[in-house]
Amino acid sequence: MRPVVRAEGLVRVFGDGALRTVAVDGVDLEVRAGEVVVVRGPSGSGKTTLLSLLAGIDAPGAGTAWIDDVEVTRASEGDLARLRAEVVGVIAQDFALVEMLTAAENVELPLRIARTPIAEREARVAEALEAVGLTPHARQRPDQLSGGQQQRVAIARALVHRPRVLLADEPTAQLDSASARTVMELIADRVHRDDMAAVVTTHDPELAAIADRVIEIHDGRLGAPAPTSRAEARRRRMLRGEAPA
Ligand SMILES: Nc1ncnc2c1ncn2[C@@H]1O[C@H](COP(=O)(O)OP(=O)(O)OP(=O)(O)O)[C@@H](O)[C@H]1O
Ligand SMILES: [Mg+2]
């Protein structure tokens, strides 16, 4: 089966001179339908930048990303808008909720954009809020919700239109460990049941448990875990020409 999400040689550089940062440094990635890929790395390793490139929110300096047959790194604004409305669900690290709308209205937005009929909209919003345990808070605005509740609104909104691709940036960062587990299980369940493809970033080692595949990210590069202190010490000894311990 062809991968739903693909990236080849993605590079994103910020700033120049002394401030030059290579946030994403030659990333290749393939994610198939029915697969949850967790991208795990420390703060500043390039997780948000990578997801922004995959979602077409940011443009790379080099490389290409595709979602289905759409080349997101070259697509027109119209094509990207359609892709985000119909194919992709994004959970932003800062939630990106609309402050003047209630939780239910925030969750409804993707369905309005997709022109889903009102009766179906109501049923889907109720179902999505229920799935994240927010039914009692449906009429509250984001400023009346806790950080964890806001995060769950963002999760419900990303899944309500049943996207084929989920791009989630630390979707459980604000949650206590029990809620984090529930939310990750919800995401994994939806991905496996609906044959979605998901890229989920985290720096929480526990969340790897629900992943079909875990990829480490360090300094914008995938698959290169930072050396453990023991391995690093051995490398240094070898460089000094000493026998490995
Ligand atoms: N708009 C920007 N301008 C300049 N530098 C940026 C910008 N966005 C990100 N960076 C830099 O790129 C690198 C990767 O940042 P990114 O936000 O992708 O990391 P992250 O893995 O998401 O971190 P965190 O876990 O803290 O969210 C960092 O060094 C960051 O300072
Ligand atoms: Mg980030």
Instruction: Look at 19-23, 47-51, 64-68, 94-98 and tell me which has the smallest mean pLDDT.
Output: 94-98
Q: Which residue has the higher pLDDT, 1 or 53?
A: 53
Residue 24 lies in a domain: yes
Stretch 200-209: mean pLDDT, rounded?
Answer: 82
| Residue 13 predicted with pLDDT over 70 | yes
| Residue 134 predicted with pLDDT over 90 | yes
pLDDT-derived band at 232, boundaries 50, 70, 90 = low
Residue 224 lies in a domain: yes
C-alpha neighbours within 13 Å on the C-beta side of residue 242: 8
At 89 the pLDDT is 93
Cβ proximity of 143 and 98 under 8 Å: no
Residue 57 lies in a domain: yes
Stretch 183-206: mean pLDDT, rounded?
Answer: 89
CA–CA separation, 69 and 241 (whole Å): 51
Residues 6+ apart with CB under 8 A from 165: 4, 5, 67, 87, 88, 89, 196, 197, 198
Q: Which residue has the higher pLDDT, 15 or 84?
A: 15
Cβ proximity of 138 and 61 under 8 Å: no
Residue 106 lies in a domain: no
pLDDT-derived band at 182, boundaries 50, 70, 90 = confident
Residue 182 lies in a domain: no
CATH of the domain at 229: 3.40.50.300
What is the distance in A from the centroid of ligand 2 to the CA of 24?
12
What is the distance in A from the centroid of ligand 1 to the CA of 23?
6
* Dihedral sign from CA coordinates of 111, 112, 113, 115: positive
Residue 73 lies in a domain: yes
Nearest CA to ligand 1 atom 7: 14
Q: Is 41 in the pocket of ligand 1 (CB under 6 A)?
A: yes
What is the distance in A from the centroid of ligand 2 to the CA of 202?
9
- In tens, the pLDDT along 115-127 reads 999 999 999 999 9
Residue 173 lies in a domain: no
Measured from the Cα of 46, ligand 1's closest atom is 18
Q: Is 202 in the pocket of ligand 1 (CB under 6 A)?
A: no
At 127 the pLDDT is 95
Pocket residue to mutate for ligand 1, from 20, 27, 48, most atoms within 8 A of Cβ? 48
Give me the number of domains the chain comprises: 1
Q: Is 45 in the pocket of ligand 1 (CB under 6 A)?
A: yes
CA–CA separation, 217 and 54 (whole Å): 15
Q: Residue 222 corresponds to which tokens in the numbers above?
A: 């995938």
- In tens, the pLDDT along 144-179 reads 999 889 999 999 999 999 999 999 999 988 888 888
Residue 240 lies in a domain: yes
The parent domain of residue 11 ranges over: 1-78+199-245
pLDDT-derived band at 197, boundaries 50, 70, 90 = very high
Q: Which residue has the higher pLDDT, 11 or 92?
A: 11
At 209 the pLDDT is 81
At 172 the pLDDT is 86
Q: Residue 91 corresponds to which tokens in the numbers above?
A: 């959970």
DSSP secondary structure string for all residues of the chain: ---SEEEEEEEEEES-GGG-EEEEEEEEEEE-TTEEEEEE--TTSSHHHHHHHHHTSS--SEEEEEETTEETTT--HHHHHHHHHHTEEEE-TT----TTS-HHHHHHHHHHHTT--HHHHHHHHHHHHHHTT-GGGTT--GGGS-HHHHHHHHHHHHHTT--SEEEEESTTTTS-HHHHHHHHHHHHHHHHHHT-EEEEEES-GGGGGG-SEEEEEETTEET-PPPPHHHHHHHHHHHTTPPP-
Q: Among all chains, which residue has been given the structure tokens 């809620």?
A: 179
| Chain-centre distance for alpha carbon 110 | 17
At 244 the pLDDT is 59
pLDDT-derived band at 204, boundaries 50, 70, 90 = confident
| Residue 231 predicted with pLDDT over 70 | no
Q: What rounded mean pLDDT belongs to the chain?
A: 90
